[in-house]
Amino acid sequence: MAIPAKVNLTDPFEVDTLLEIRTSGMKKMTGLNIESGIDKKLCPGPMKVGKLGLEGDEHDPTFHGGPDKAILGSPDQIKDCSSHYADWQQSYPERTDRFVPGGFGENFVTARMNERNVCIGDVISVGPELVLQVSLPRQPCFKLNHRFSLKNFAPVTYQTSRTGWYYRVVREGTVRVGDDIRLVERKWPQWTVERVQEYLHRTTDNLEMNQQLADVDALGEESRGQFRKRVAKALRKARAEAEDTWKDFRITGRKMETPRIVSLVLEAVNPDPETELPLAGAHARIKLPNGLIRSYSIAAGGDSLFKVTDKFELGVALDENSRGGSRYLHETSKVGDILQVGRITTGIGFAKSASNHCFIAGGIGITAFLPLIRGMDAIHLNYKLHYAVRSADDIPFLDRLEPHKENIVFYDKSKGERMDVKKIVKDLMWNSHLYVCGPNRMMEATKAAVEESGIPPDEVHYEAFAADISGDPFEAELSGKKSQVLKVGEDESLLEVLRRELPDFPSSCEVGNCGTCKITVKSGCVDHRGSALLPEEKETSMLACVSRGIGRIAIEV
């Protein structure tokens, strides 16, 4: 980038001062098997700055460091009493000793710059040699929660635009405390760090703003990529709503993982290069040639560790009480067959604010969590899997679990080993998120243990792979459609009946996990089933796939 020799700008920080320089090595975080470079210490004397940042400063390259994150800048958070450290101390008096300079992992501390007067793309000089460009607003992760021992603290920082910002290095050089900081060029005055955070975190569905930010070439890829993906997703959604939602997929791989579990690889007959969805928690609705429609967890995304493209893999257990779905895939399907796949949707991702992740799974339930576990391992998150199996011969995808065996505890029923769910829940470390998928007995035992331990509902995710939809017949009056009353039989779901009237009615997991089929209840009593609704949501909503009305209810879809 060419640096203009002279630029006339009027700005509150046209000249600022470098008050502190801080660096750190990588250290293990207390109580976690995770290293971090967040613990920055003051640096005496002049410091060299290269393309990747300050000499001797270390980062976990998974989320930090690199050309777009060479230097983390922050205002003098003690003197700026209207925000930052002084305000954090007032808001969290029990953590006053931790809200001190360096607490947020900042490299450069300045006097007057802040998130409201620093813009993306700003080019600044620091001292006589170094030239930097503002590249990104910082997006704090769970490590900030853990550092301050405050659950969900990281989101508060970006919701209030008190995060700091990153620089890329335009010209290398040496810096000293007390160096002047001068604004050299401002190309994007409308995009302050605070305003970018508005659309990055708070108003995320503004397509016009997402499009504008996707075109800001000075914005680092971490944020710019998010805006591009939002635009692409909005366009895909609009296109999908205008087209048939079913696509032909060919079975290109088939393997018996165990005597009762088959894995199937499906590839789109007509691939769409723009197809890309988050893999974690993804479900695919499959329409079988025998007319049945079933939903299955996606166990792998083809060639991608984090994304579902036009190739993915399922794991299907033969249900002893199969109504035809799993039996067809086990006994009739073969390589080369064509199956129709509906919209692929996601219902679970990893809890970004959690310091630790604990999985409880049984049998085929591992398919719901396998992508999450592999993804967490790749980005160095702290996790543990408790996995109950019938025997050593009944473990699907064993080759993919092998690399993670240090984080897995197996419970082999054939050897008399029993998972103590109550103890696992009781012993969860601070700021853990719990994920559960298994047979009904395991799910109910976990729910009882969670309730007894007083764990909030938003710190647990239940992923059922079977659901009891049966019950007494009931009637559902469709609001806004005069005299249209749907009759739901004892062995069918409200979702199945709704589809007779609305063939494209949305759904995903169809066992009460994801909430895609949530509808509004205007009046009447509901027998709530499934886990996707929070307690307060059950007052006005129900899950059409599993929950049942009692007598007669009025609904709005």
Query: What whole-number distance in Å separates Cα of residue 493 and Cα of residue 510?
Result: 10
Do 174 and 98 lie in one domain? The reply is: yes
What DSSP assignment string belongs to 176-223?
Answer: -TT-EEEEEE-S-TT-BHHHHHIIIIISTT-HHHHHHHHT-TTS-HHH
Q: What tokens does 546 get? A: 């599993």
Identify the domain containing residue 206 by its residue range. 15-228
In tens, the pLDDT along 489-546 reads: 887 899 989 988 887 787 777 778 778 889 999 999 999 988 788 888 999 999 998 8
Query: Among 177, 194, 228, which residue terminates a domain?
Result: 228
CATH number at residue 340: 2.40.30.10
Return the minimum-mean-pLDDT range out of 92-106, 241-255, 380-394: 241-255
Asked whether residue 202 is domain-assigned, the answer is yes
Q: What tokens does 356 get? A: 């630790």
Is 29 a residue whose pLDDT tops 60? yes
Query: What whole-number distance in Å separates Cα of residue 152 and Cα of residue 137?
Result: 19
Do 211 and 95 lie in one domain? The reply is: yes
Is 78 a residue whose pLDDT tops 50? no
pLDDT over 90 for what percent of the chain?
Answer: 56
504: which DSSP letter? T
Do 415 and 339 lie in one domain? The reply is: no
Q: What is the pLDDT of residue 464?
A: 76
Contact 75, 84 (CB under 8 A): yes
Q: What tokens does 120 get? A: 């993306």
Do 222 and 100 lie in one domain? The reply is: yes
Q: What is the pLDDT of residue 380?
A: 87
Q: What is the pLDDT of residue 296?
A: 86
Contact 166, 135 (CB under 8 A): yes
Q: What is the pLDDT of residue 7?
A: 37
Query: What whole-number distance in Å separates Cα of residue 514 and Cα of residue 531?
Result: 8
Do 542 and 416 lie in one domain? The reply is: no
The H or E element that residue 450 is part of is helix 440-453
Q: What is the pLDDT of residue 150?
A: 93
Count of C-beta atoms within a 10 Å radius of residue 45? 8
Q: What is the pLDDT of residue 467?
A: 67
Is 65 a residue whose pLDDT tops 60? yes
Do 396 and 264 lie in one domain? The reply is: no
Return the minimum-mean-pLDDT range out of 9-23, 64-78, 137-151: 9-23
Find residue 385's DSSP bridge partners: 359, 408
Is 550 a residue whose pLDDT tops 80? yes
Is 308 a residue whose pLDDT tops 80? no
pLDDT over 70 for what percent of the chain?
Answer: 92
Asked whether residue 240 is domain-assigned, the answer is no
Confidence class of residue 200 from pLDDT cuts 50, 70 and 90?
very high
Asked whether residue 320 is domain-assigned, the answer is yes
Number of domains in the chain: 4
CATH number at residue 399: 3.40.50.80
Tell me if residue 35 falls in helix, strand or coil: strand
> What integer is the mean pLDDT of 452-479?
85
Asked whether residue 10 is domain-assigned, the answer is no
Tell me if residue 166 falls in helix, strand or coil: strand
Do 96 and 78 lie in one domain? The reply is: yes
The H or E element that residue 31 is part of is none
CATH number at residue 487: 3.10.20.30
Q: What is the pLDDT of residue 547?
A: 93
